[in-house]
Amino acid sequence: MNDVWLALALTTFAGLATAIGSLIAFTAKRTNYRFLSVATGFSAGVMLYVSFVEILFKGSTALTESYGVRLGNWIAVGAFFGGIFLMGLIDNLIPAAENPHETHPESEIAPLRDPSAPLPDFASAEAAVGGGPHSGGVHDHGRVDKKLMRMGLFTALAIGIHNFPEGLATFLAVLQDPTLGLAIAVAVALHNIPEGMSVSVPIFYATGNRRKAFSYSALSGLAEPVGALIAYLVLRTFLGSNGGSFPPEVMGITFGGVAGIMVYISLDELLPTSRAYGKGHDSLFGLVAGMAVMALSLLLFK
């Protein structure tokens, strides 16, 4: 039971990183785009390395022990691509109102943290970005109307639904191996920081209410522990043994799917985000650093 509480705590920590992103948008004197680039690249490196080296391997081992080498490997590969398909399906059925990882320039974020800051010139396609990573116009958050509020809420909802599989991945990883789960929780948390900023910005411009923008940002992250707990209870009710543990076949298929989910997140969300926020090879430095740290931690704690 202690492992379940630890898994829930780490999953909650990872989910609430959206609130950290919102706090950065509202309080930091200046957004550190290079940090966001390296951090999201680092998160991708951790996820990719641990998916291929550890999680998929654990799933394949459990399945080959139950079904034999040939069939077990086929099932593991099928579960891996099943996880990728699941995330792709969610992306197609629940698209965000705008890219939740898209960068927000300084001129757009400044009014969130400083009430005296002038609103960006939304009418001009060539508005200055005040030091952000792009040189084009700012996002169209100028019209304070229901459409803008709907966009912010839909972005929060979309991120929340996308966070369900991430929460399950973190939760199950902690149950299987707390050290491995901690690394994944940190990676998911880093990944959630830009998402928190992206929920806060449109809701703030729609309502002018910082507290409401922060609240919706935090709520979108709470989908991770809620989703993880629901999935865990469903798995335990229908597939768990009398002692509450899962058969190796179930854990093997689940881990194969989790590896696919994390690879999809890394390639579809994290690496493009890291490239958007960074300069030069920032994203590559973060990616390699994440892989190196994950490799070192696995070697030290084995």
For the chain (length 302 residues), average pLDDT per consecutive 10?
Answer: 82 88 76 80 90 91 93 96 90 64 61 65 45 47 56 69 78 82 85 78 75 84 85 77 70 89 88 80 91 87 68
- Residue 231: name the closest of 173, 278, 184 by CA: 173
Per-residue pLDDT, 21: 83
User: Dihedral (C-alpha) 70, 71, 76, 82: value to the nearest 10 degrees?
Assistant: 130
Tell me how far apart the alpha carbons of residues 131 and 127 are, in angstroms, rounded to a whole number: 12
Per-residue pLDDT, 129: 39
Per-residue pLDDT, 188: 85
For the chain, what is the domain count? 1
What Rg value do the Cα atoms of the chain yield, rounded? 20
Per-residue pLDDT, 100: 55
Per-residue pLDDT, 89: 87
pTM given for the model: 0.74
Per-residue pLDDT, 48: 93
| Residue 272, both tokens | 């493009």
Q: Write the DSSP string, the chain.
A: -HHHHHHHHHHHHHHTHHHHHHHHHHH-SS--HHHHHHHHHHHHHHHHHHIIIIIHHHHHHHHHHHH-HHHHHHHHHHHHHHHHHHHHHHHHHS--SS-TT----HHHHHHHH-TTSPPP-TT-TT---TT-S--SPPPS----SHHHHHHHHHHHHHHHHHHHHHHHHHHHHHHH-HHHHHHHHHHHHHHHHHHHHHHHHHHHHHH--HHHHHHHHHHHHHHHHHHHHHHHHHHHHHH--TTS---HHHHHHHHHHHHHHHHHHIIIIIHHHHHHH--TTHHHHHHHHHHHHHHHHHHHH-
Give the number of other CB atoms < 10 A from CB of residue 280: 9
Per-residue pLDDT, 236: 78
Domain of 7, in residue numbers: 2-301
